[in-house]
């Protein structure tokens, strides 16, 4: 069996080493840089920012609702034919163009603190959204750190696979020489070629895991998938600061989490918000006192002023009779007909003459309104109970998650110790096997088996080490609501 039968494996190995050399010259991403970029670009965070802004606008509007209302309107109309003169209120047959303006104002004087409770409820809602935004940021930071650790783990597994491939290649080259010299059978070379193919597939799979975890990181960052992401690998993973297990006792961590966990704080604020909403809905069931005022004026082109220009005619008009000494005399008077000039009353004069002001108080007493207000109040009260249950559930889940994380951390540490001992034992066994194999005292199958055990032990140790780091960082996150590497 020839190595040339596996061109795909050889090509993958060459491409990986070429990619490793190229990425060294690329810009690298530290955990802090990744977190900072995610906080500015992550979609979940941006959505929560929008929710916070909506809550802020609602709070602002409820505050502005305390200010008296002021509205103005201007109206104009044109009518032809038989109309009512808007000034004399008499019928005329003429085209009338009229305009009117109204300025009205209103203010709530007393409504059993409905507005104050509404403002308080919206304020707590806004504060809760702020805490939920903080939670979203913390969650994204933690997810970034988790994904960062996953990339480091997958990269470390690639390095182990590289060493495994190189070791198999070296053994294969040495075996080829021994086969040519006739020291070992050709089947040994075939077994090593088969092992090299298997190791190459393992390396390709490990490389694919790096690609997959990198794509997951890019999704968290909302980073373009064609943009390079090369993590800044710590010099020594064992130097990552970790708290001791006695520093993250589950009850102690839970006590700290209840005072700084943003989800718990948001739940508490939402309970207060619903309590104030309930008070606001109850206020709607009581009378409200309000004041209103209005100023009105109008203008119409049909409003005319008449001015006498000249006497048109004079006529005697009999207005009655009078008797004097038995004689009856007619009584007459002069009746004058004038030539009159009519002009439209000026705008300013009409506005002044028609100016009207009103002011009033209104007492609104809810009597029968389909049980709407009372039902709204009862729903608000149930919202309080629902939110209290949600808060209790979140507290219970938080406590369970912390205890589970602590138990997993203890288990991970034990697995790491066991895996470390396994690597030491497998390394000794492999060293002895190598010496025996070189002397021809061990067949290829047994040697490959020993080599695979060492490889698996190394993979298990690395996985256990990163798993322990993750579990401890999770407890640290619950305790401090921040994460560092």
Whole-Å CA distances, 13 to 43, 199, 211:
37, 10, 15
Name the pTM for this structure.
Answer: 0.76
Is residue 402 within 8 A of residue 253, CB to CB? The reply is: yes
- Rounded to the nearest 5 degrees, what angle is found at the Cα of 268, between the Cα atoms of 264 and 271? 140
* pLDDT band at 247; cut points 50, 70, 90: confident
Is residue 317 within 8 A of residue 353, CB to CB? The reply is: no
Q: What is the pLDDT of residue 1?
A: 34
Over residues 73-99, mean pLDDT: 82
Which ranges of 335-371 would DSSP assign to H, the alpha helix? 347-354
> Positive or negative CA dihedral for 135, 136, 139, 145?
negative
Q: What is the pLDDT of residue 72?
A: 94
pLDDT at position 54 over 50: yes
Determine which of 89-93, 289-293, 388-392, 423-427 has the lowest per-residue pLDDT on average.
Answer: 89-93
pLDDT at position 18 over 60: no
pLDDT tens-digit profile of 372-405?
Answer: 889 999 999 999 999 999 999 999 999 999 999 9
Region of 325 please: left (phi>0), alpha (psi -120 to 50) or beta.
left
Determine which of 32-41, 84-93, 282-291, 309-318 has the lowest per-residue pLDDT on average.
Answer: 84-93
Q: What is the pLDDT of residue 26?
A: 57
Q: What is the pLDDT of residue 192?
A: 84
pLDDT above 70 as % of the chain: 94
Over residues 244-266, mean pLDDT: 90
Measured between alpha carbons, how far is 238 from 113 in angstroms, rounded to an integer?
A: 61
Q: What is the pLDDT of residue 87?
A: 67
pLDDT above 90 as % of the chain: 44
Task: Give φ, ψ of 367 to 5 degrees.
Answer: -120, -60
pLDDT at position 23 over 60: no
Measured between alpha carbons, how far is 264 from 175 in angstroms, rounded to an integer?
A: 65
Average pLDDT of the residues of the chain: 86
Q: What is the pLDDT of residue 290?
A: 94
Measured between alpha carbons, how far is 219 from 336 in angstroms, rounded to an integer?
A: 99
* pLDDT band at 123; cut points 50, 70, 90: very high
Measured between alpha carbons, how far is 447 from 17 in angstroms, rounded to an integer?
A: 27
* pLDDT band at 61; cut points 50, 70, 90: very high
pLDDT at position 459 over 90: no
pLDDT at position 10 over 80: no
* pLDDT band at 271; cut points 50, 70, 90: very high
Is residue 338 within 8 A of residue 319, CB to CB? The reply is: no
Q: Which domains does the chain have, with CATH numbers?
A: 3-41+112-286+369-480 (1.20.1600.10), 305-344 (no CATH)
Burial label for 442, CB within 10 Å (0-12, 13-18, 19+), is: middle
Burial label for 270, CB within 10 Å (0-12, 13-18, 19+), is: buried
pLDDT at position 7 over 50: no
Measured between alpha carbons, how far is 157 from 233 in angstroms, rounded to an integer?
A: 13
pLDDT at position 208 over 60: yes
pLDDT at position 320 over 90: no
Q: What is the pLDDT of residue 397?
A: 93
pLDDT tens-digit profile of 443-457?
Answer: 888 888 888 888 888
How would you classify the pairing of strands 356-364 and 304-324?
unpaired
């Amino acid at each position: 069996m020839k190595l040339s039968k596996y061109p795909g494996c050889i090509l993958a190995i060459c491409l990986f080493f070429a990619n490793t050399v190229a990425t060294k010259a690329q810009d690298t991403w530290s955990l802090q840089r990744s977190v900072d970029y995610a906080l500015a670009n992550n979609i979940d965070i941006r959505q929560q920012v929008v929710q916070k802004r909506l809550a802020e606008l609602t709070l602002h509007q409820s505050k502005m609702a305390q200010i008296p209302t002021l509205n103005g309107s201007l109206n104009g109309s044109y009518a032809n034919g038989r109309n009512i003169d808007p000034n004399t209120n008499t019928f005329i047959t003429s085209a009338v163009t009229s305009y009117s303006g109204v300025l009205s104002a209103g203010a709530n004087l007393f409504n059993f603190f409905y507005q104050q409770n509404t403002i308080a409820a919206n304020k707590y809602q806004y504060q809760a959204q702020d805490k939920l935004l903080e939670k979203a940021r913390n969650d994204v930071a933690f997810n970034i750190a988790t994904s960062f650790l996953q990339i480091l783990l997958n990269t470390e597994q690639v390095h182990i696979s590289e060493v495994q491939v190189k070791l198999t290649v070296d053994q294969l080259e040495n075996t080829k020489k021994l086969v040519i010299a006739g020291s070992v059978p050709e089947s040994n070379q075939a077994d090593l070629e088969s092992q090299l193919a298997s190791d190459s597939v393992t390396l390709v799979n490990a490389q694919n895991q790096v690609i997959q975890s990198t794509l997951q990181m890019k999704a968290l960052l909302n980073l373009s998938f064609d943009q390079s992401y090369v993590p800044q690998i710590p010099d020594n993973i064992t130097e990552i600061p970790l708290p001791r297990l006695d520093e993250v006792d589950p009850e102690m961590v839970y006590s700290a989490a209840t005072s700084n966990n943003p989800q718990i704080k948001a739940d508490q604020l939402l309970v207060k918000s619903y309590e104030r909403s309930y008070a606001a809905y109850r206020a709607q069931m009581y009378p409200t006192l309000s004041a209103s005022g209005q100023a009105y004026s109008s203008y119409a082109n049909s409003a005319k002023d008449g001015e006498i220009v000249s006497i048109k005619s004079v006529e005697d008009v009999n207005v009655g009779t009078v008797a004097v000494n038995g004689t009856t005399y007619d009584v007459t008077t002069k009746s004058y007909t004038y030539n009159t000039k009519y002009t439209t009353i000026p705008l300013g004069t009409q506005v002044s003459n028609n100016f009207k002001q009103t002011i009033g108080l209104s007492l609104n007493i809810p009597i029968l309104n389909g049980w709407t207000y009372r039902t709204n109040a009862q729903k608000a009260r149930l919202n309080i109970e629902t939110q209290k249950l949600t808060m209790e559930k979140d507290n219970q889940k938080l406590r369970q998650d912390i205890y589970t994380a602590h138990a997993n951390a203890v288990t991970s540490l034990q697995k790491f110790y066991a895996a470390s001992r396994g690597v030491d034992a497998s390394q000794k066994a492999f060293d002895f096997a190598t010496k025996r194999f070189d002397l021809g005292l061990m067949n290829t199958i047994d040697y490959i088996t020993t080599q695979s055990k060492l490889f698996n032990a190394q993979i298990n140790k690395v996985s256990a080490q990163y798993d322990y780091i993750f579990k401890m960082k999770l407890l640290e996150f619950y305790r401090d609501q921040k994460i560092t590497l």
